[in-house]
Structure 1
């Protein structure tokens, strides 16, 4: 394995960023509690890894204060956001926001397994314990084993005055902008197995 670093020239680096920006993704907020303090980070670099054992990963910038907190804690939560969670995502992506009480303006509840904050404006939630970490250049790849999983239909309603018409739809991210899902009557779900299911 070649571990040498090969910096890209400026034009290729710009093209690399442009290519990554054209990969549409969902939006998550990853949270952890370290030394009694809540830490949170908006992340689109999140994905599943394995079904057995149940593993997911999130990629964390080494410069982010969340980086050391989640490594120290060893447990974390993931909230997959609904369209209604855009303001929460924007706030928790804002660099330099106060650490203390940063979740005061974000409706949330506590995960039973980890105590991590899980955002109420989510459509699904996971609680994880760190399985392994890997060097990812200027980021760390944090792989977590899932301790608990729930989706909105399984969760108790919080009683908050939230927009119920938007809570069931995912928040998307594309080219530095938030977006929404456009449903088609002829979706993959209705017409047959998805490409992922076909290759399992």
Structure 2
């Protein structure tokens, strides 16, 4: 018999994993849909694959299942308000981008201007993830900007920023084998 995990402890443990913040968007029947997601990661460089987890009960979920094309805006520090807005349930669908600076990907998906990078993806695979669906997307277009380099981070229900140190992954390990 499987022992049940304490939900408060589970949520508390997961909240201690810092992540970047993205807004994932799609267009279905000419209507833009979007959601804030910190459950996003790269999967493969060859072929170029990423994944995002979508709540099965959201409007976005139904729209992205039908459209199968979606965009990812990897937010910079200036994207805090947009992140909070797209995380808010029940916002008006037809005007949700009205006060958000954005542009379109080559395939027509809305992408936020306050971002470090943008991707356009086509759904490659779907996997059950409990109350979420794991969407694996093949990246069909990517771009980034180099004017700012300050990512928006999320940790324990708060936004944060990066504190850079002199060491990198390449300099931190000095041992040999």
The answer to whether TM tops 0.5 is yes
2:3 and 2:32 map into 1 onto residues whose CA distance is: 35
- TM-score, reference length from structure 2: 0.92
1:46-79 CA distances to partner (integer Å, 9 max, x unpaired)? 0011111111000000111100000100100000
Pick one of 40, 43, 66 that aligns with 2:37.
Answer: 43
2:61 and 2:21 map into 1 onto residues whose CA distance is: 18
- CA gap 1:184/1:143 in 2 versus in 1, 3 angstroms: same
Residue 192 of structure 1, CA deviation:
5.9
> Do residues 184 (structure 1) and 171 (structure 2) align?
no
1:186 and 1:47 map into 2 onto residues whose CA distance is: 23
In the alignment, structure 1 segments of 5+ residues that lack a partner are: 1-5, 154-163, 194-200
Could you say which residue in structure 1 is the equivalent of 2:143? 150
In the alignment, structure 2 segments of 5+ residues that lack a partner are: none
Could you say which residue in structure 2 is the equivalent of 1:159? none
1:84-139 CA distances to partner (integer Å, 9 max, x unpaired)? 00000001101111111100111000001x21011000000100000011111111
- CA gap 1:7/1:90 in 2 versus in 1, 3 angstroms: farther
- TM-score, reference length from structure 1: 0.82
User: Aligned pairs, how many?
Assistant: 172
Could you say which residue in structure 2 is the equivalent of 1:138? 131
1:105 and 1:55 map into 2 onto residues whose CA distance is: 31
Pick one of 89, 100, 110 that aligns with 2:83.
Answer: 89
Pick one of 46, 57, 60 that aligns with 1:66.
Answer: 60
CA-atom RMSD, angstroms?
1.5
Residue 185 of structure 1, CA deviation:
2.2
**Secondary structure, aligned partner of 1:144:** strand
**Secondary structure, aligned partner of 2:60:** helix
Residue 35 of structure 1, CA deviation:
0.4
Pick one of 117, 126, 131 that aligns with 1:124.
Answer: 117
